[in-house]
């Protein structure tokens, strides 16, 4: 998504007039607009804030008629930020305890992750009260329970950068805590909403003459009631927290989010076997199907396209062609990944080769092959079987760190699974040299041809070739096809599809080698992508539930996000 980065400072203030001049002075070097929200302060503070706003052109003073609490003040300030066109707001507490000099580092992190909440992770000195320190740890434990994750390192630090739009979207949908419970609740609910958090260690000092508005009894009761609400709010979200959400672009997703939850389910598999795991998979997938709205919409869109294409070609519609069984098939494919590495999938018993496929894979050429795969079916099964049955190393090229959690699971359950993963953010000269060395040693390389790189090129443009797929133009990445031409090796299409209660491996020779002549490079590239899209469509219609792209495949991320 293309997002203009326009930050400002947001300061909620309640009776901190004596310290505000010092705080504003420390903010002066950053030359950032400041939204100062007076949360119903006393007359002396109101007078001081008026004076400071009159003297400082960067300060916009917003006044609440009565003290409504920090949460109300922050949301009111964010609405002012949105109205002024700011995309991000650095929340700074008015008591001067934060290391304001860390603002540039916080903003740099926010610029790299513009859709995330960026928060300080306090590094305390001896000034912190012991009771406050212990209370924070209690809240940390509750937050980890409420999110089923350890990702939220500290939910109480008020020194953070809010992405304005997602935070206001949340505030318009649910009632957030109004006082000291706000910082915690907004972070947890943003996490539930799909907004990640990133943390930066920062020094926090409690000034000796500081003014604290923490009411030991009332605020502890508020926080306890908030944790109660969040705990019960977590229960129906367990499947989505364990298995993650699909965001608008696949590169921003985590393929499997809940490492602990996956460990638990896979332990059930180890203790009780695959059949027990499959039984457990049904209710989990059912709840996930009900709660994962974007992925469910993408699945229904895919199913509708399949039905329309089959009808146009007068082909029969497979049984159970609906989005629930689409989700279920994806869960079963996850199991097949691990089963293949553990040696529980056997050739001829669980896996067969389509006619001609084994002959293509068994050639004795000294040079390796480039396997042009996709997210139709499970190429991971092919890779595991090749190493177990034929002692052939297949290096899988994967983009970014999206599969890191699943990779960790694989390493724990089947240590040999992660030996030949090559993680990249883009395909460049270094990648080509590395892969060429592997091919020259007779190893194979697998790369998918149906997903874009993690980031667009400079200028925000995606390097794609549009090709007809399932009746409508879809964007395919240029990189895999250009890489295949550079490597000048045999290129093979490969799919592992669930057919007739077995995984069937399909292989076709695509090119030997793929040639993109300089004088007609774009035309040859278009023809190569068109052939790939045609064969992808051919096999997708044979096993439509094996389509594992749970996003709008026919649109670029920018085109979709701008709507």
> Does residue 228 sit in the same domain as residue 256?
no
pLDDT by 10s per residue, the chain, length 563: 445 799 999 999 888 888 888 889 899 999 899 999 998 888 998 999 999 988 888 899 999 988 888 889 999 999 999 999 999 999 998 877 778 888 999 999 999 899 999 998 888 666 555 555 555 667 778 888 888 877 888 888 888 999 999 999 999 888 888 877 788 899 999 999 888 899 988 887 765 554 454 555 666 677 787 888 888 888 877 766 765 544 444 444 444 344 455 555 566 666 767 777 777 778 878 877 887 788 899 999 999 999 999 999 999 999 899 999 999 998 888 777 777 766 677 766 778 889 988 888 776 677 889 999 999 987 777 766 666 555 677 887 776 444 555 555 555 555 555 456 676 656 667 778 888 998 988 888 889 999 886 556 655 577 899 999 999 999 999 989 999 999 999 999 999 999 888 889 999 999 999 999 989 999 999 999 999 999 999 999 999 999 999 999 999 875 444 33
> Does residue 129 sit in the same domain as residue 227?
yes
Express each pLDDT in 121-175 by its tens digit: 888 666 555 555 555 667 778 888 888 877 888 888 888 999 999 999 999 888 8
> Does residue 207 sit in the same domain as residue 338?
no
Q: What is the CATH number of the domain that holds 38?
A: 3.90.550.10
Q: In Å, how far are 183, 261, 278, 279 from 284, measured between CA atoms?
A: 31, 11, 10, 9
Task: Indicate the residue among 214, 237, 260 that finishes a domain.
Answer: 237
91 belongs to a structural domain: yes
242 belongs to a structural domain: no
421 belongs to a structural domain: yes
pTM for this predicted structure? 0.56
428 belongs to a structural domain: yes
Bridge partners, 59 (sequence order): 34
245 belongs to a structural domain: no
Cα–Cα nearest to 354, from 539, 173, 203, 530: 539
- Are 103 and 31 within 8 A, CB to CB? no
Sign of CA dihedral 154, 159, 160, 165: positive
> Does residue 351 sit in the same domain as residue 226?
no
As a whole number of angstroms, the distance between CA 374 and CA 386 comes to: 17
Strands (E), 225-337: none
> Does residue 394 sit in the same domain as residue 543?
yes
> Does residue 300 sit in the same domain as residue 327?
yes
> Does residue 199 sit in the same domain as residue 290?
no
As a whole number of angstroms, the distance between CA 353 and CA 340 comes to: 15
> Does residue 264 sit in the same domain as residue 233?
no
> Does residue 225 sit in the same domain as residue 273?
no
272 belongs to a structural domain: yes
The C-alpha angle 195, 338, 273, rounded to 5 degrees, equals 110
- The whole-angstrom distance between residue 155's C-alpha and the CA centroid of its chain comes to 20
Which domain covers residue 162, as residue numbers? 7-237
**Number of compact structural domains in the chain:** 2
Which 3 state secondary structure label does DSSP give 491?
strand
Q: Which residues are CB-neighbours of 472 under 8 A, at least 6 positions away?
A: 305, 554
Q: Which residues are CB-neighbours of 418 under 8 A, at least 6 positions away?
A: 407, 410, 411
244 belongs to a structural domain: no
> Does residue 227 sit in the same domain as residue 257?
no
Task: Indicate the residue among 184, 204, 237 that finishes a domain.
Answer: 237
> Does residue 272 sit in the same domain as residue 160?
no
Task: Indicate the residue among 181, 202, 237 that finishes a domain.
Answer: 237
> Does residue 213 sit in the same domain as residue 304?
no
Express each pLDDT in 391-445 by its tens digit: 677 887 776 444 555 555 555 555 555 456 676 656 667 778 888 998 988 888 8
1 belongs to a structural domain: no
């Amino acid at each position: 998504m293309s997002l203009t980065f326009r930050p400002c400072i947001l300061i909620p203030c309640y009776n901190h007039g004596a310290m505000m001049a010092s705080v504003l002075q420390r903010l002066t070097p950053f030359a950032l607009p400041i939204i100062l929200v007076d949360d119903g302060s006393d007359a002396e503070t109101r007078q001081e804030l008026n004076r400071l706003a009159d003297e400082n052109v960067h300060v916009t003073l917003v006044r609440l008629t009565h003290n409504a609490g920090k949460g109300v003040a922050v949301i009111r300030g964010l609405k002012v930020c949105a109205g002024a066109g700011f995309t991000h707001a650095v929340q700074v507490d008015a008591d001067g305890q934060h290391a304001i000099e860390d603002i540039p580092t916080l903003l740099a992190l926010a610029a790299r992750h513009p859709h995330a909440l960026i928060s300080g992770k306090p590094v305390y000195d001896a000034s912190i009260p012991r009771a406050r320190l212990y209370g924070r740890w209690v809240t940390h434990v509750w937050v980890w329970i409420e999110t089923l994750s350890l990702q939220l390192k500290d939910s109480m630090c008020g020194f953070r950068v809010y992405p304005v739009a997602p935070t206001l979207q949340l505030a318009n949908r649910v009632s957030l805590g109004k006082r000291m419970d706000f910082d915690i609740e907004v972070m947890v609910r943003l996490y539930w909403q799909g907004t990640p958090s990133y943390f930066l260690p920062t020094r926090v000092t409690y000034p000796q003459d500081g003014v604290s508005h923490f009411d030991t009894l009332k605020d502890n009761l508020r926080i306890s009631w908030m944790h109660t609400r969040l705990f019960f709010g977590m229960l129906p979200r367990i499947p989505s927290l364990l298995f993650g959400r699909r965001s608008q672009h696949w590169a921003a997703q985590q393929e499997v989010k809940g490492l602990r939850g996956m460990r638990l389910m896979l332990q059930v598999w180890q203790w009780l076997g695959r059949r027990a795991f499959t039984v457990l998979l049904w209710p989990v997938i059912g709840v996930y199907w009900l709660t994962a709205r974007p992925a469910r919409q993408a699945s229904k869109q895919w199913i509708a396209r399949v039905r329309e294409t089959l009808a146009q070609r007068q082909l029969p519609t497979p049984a159970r062609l609906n989005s629930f069984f689409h989700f279920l098939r994806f869960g079963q494919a996850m199991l097949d990944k691990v089963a293949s590495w553990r040696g529980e999938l056997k050739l001829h018993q669980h896996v067969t080769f389509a006619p001609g496929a084994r002959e293509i894979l068994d050639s004795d050429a000294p040079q390796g092959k480039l396997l042009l795969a996709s997210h139709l079916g499970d190429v991971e099964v092919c890779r595991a079987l090749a190493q177990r049955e034929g002692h052939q190393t297949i290096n899988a090229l994967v983009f970014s760190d999206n599969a890191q959690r699943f990779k960790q699971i694989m390493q724990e359950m089947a240590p040999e699974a992660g030996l030949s993963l090559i993680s990249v953010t883009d395909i460049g000269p270094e990648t080509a040299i590395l892969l060429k060395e592997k091919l020259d040693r007779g190893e194979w390389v697998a790369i998918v041809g149906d997903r874009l790189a993690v980031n667009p090129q400079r200028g925000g443009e995606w390097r794609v070739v549009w090709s007809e797929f399932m009746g409508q133009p879809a964007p395919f990445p240029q990189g895999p096809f250009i890489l295949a031409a550079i490597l000048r090796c045999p290129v093979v299409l490969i799919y592992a599809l669930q057919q007739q209660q077995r995984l069937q491996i399909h292989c076709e020779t695509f090119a030997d080698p793929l040639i993109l002549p300089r004088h007609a490079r774009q035309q040859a590239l278009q023809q190569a992508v068109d052939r790939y899209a045609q064969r992808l469509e051919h096999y997708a219609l044979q096993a439509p539930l094996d389509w594992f792209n749970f996003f709008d495949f026919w649109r670029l991320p920018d085109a979709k996000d701008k709507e």
